């Protein structure tokens, strides 16, 4: 084996390196790699599409992380936010109010009727809850 060979996966790991606080684009990494120099035009097209997909996923991941950080640092409910986001923010900011409202609803409805309602609505609620976890 030659000493000039790079460590396997070194090009892939270079994506985690940061230049001025932002990740390096997959397209820039591709054009700097040795695979780019030896690729045919058809292979370069495929490699460019793969790099573009990686950049899109990186952008989506960074956007989700930024939104999560903004939500975590929020100290008030935004009036222009969607209803579900406002309800979630209210619940995060006022957990005791939410708990007391839940206890009051359970006491008012009664345990048997509450179990009946939950059993009936569970098949509808489960897919929505699974989507929220993603």
> Are 66 and 95 in the same domain?
no
> Are 67 and 107 in the same domain?
no
> Are 51 and 85 in the same domain?
no
- CA–CA dist 119, 122 (Å, integer): 5
Range of the structural domain that residue 120 is part of: 80-134
> Are 93 and 54 in the same domain?
no
What is the number of residues in the chain? 134
For residue 2, tell me if it sits in a domain.
Answer: no
Asked which of 1-5, 21-25, 27-31, 106-110 is least confident by mean pLDDT, the reply is 1-5
> Are 90 and 65 in the same domain?
no
- CA–CA dist 29, 10 (Å, integer): 11
Question: Residue 109 pLDDT more than 60?
Answer: yes
> What is the phi-psi region of residue 76: left when phi exceeds 0, alpha when psi lies from -120 to 50, beta otherwise?
beta
**pLDDT per residue over 24-63, tens digit each?**
888 888 888 888 888 899 988 998 999 999 999 999 999 9
39, burial (CB in 10 Å: exposed 0-12, middle 13-18, buried 19+)? middle
Pick the residue with more confidence: 97 or 19? 97
């Amino acid at each position: 084996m030659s000493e000039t060979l790079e460590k396997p996966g070194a090009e892939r790991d270079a994506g985690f390196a940061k230049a001025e606080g932002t990740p390096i684009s997959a397209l820039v990494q591709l054009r700097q790699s040795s695979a780019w120099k030896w690729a045919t035009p058809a292979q370069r097209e495929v490699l460019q599409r793969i790099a573009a997909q990686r950049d899109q996923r990186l952008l989506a991941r960074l956007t989700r992380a930024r939104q999560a950080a903004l939500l975590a640092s929020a100290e008030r409910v935004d009036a222009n936010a969607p209803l579900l986001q406002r309800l979630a923010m209210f619940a995060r900011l006022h957990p005791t109010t939410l708990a007391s409202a839940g206890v009051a609803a359970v006491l008012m409805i009664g345990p048997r009727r509450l179990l009946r309602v939950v059993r009936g609505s569970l098949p509808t609620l489960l897919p929505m809850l699974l989507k929220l976890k993603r």
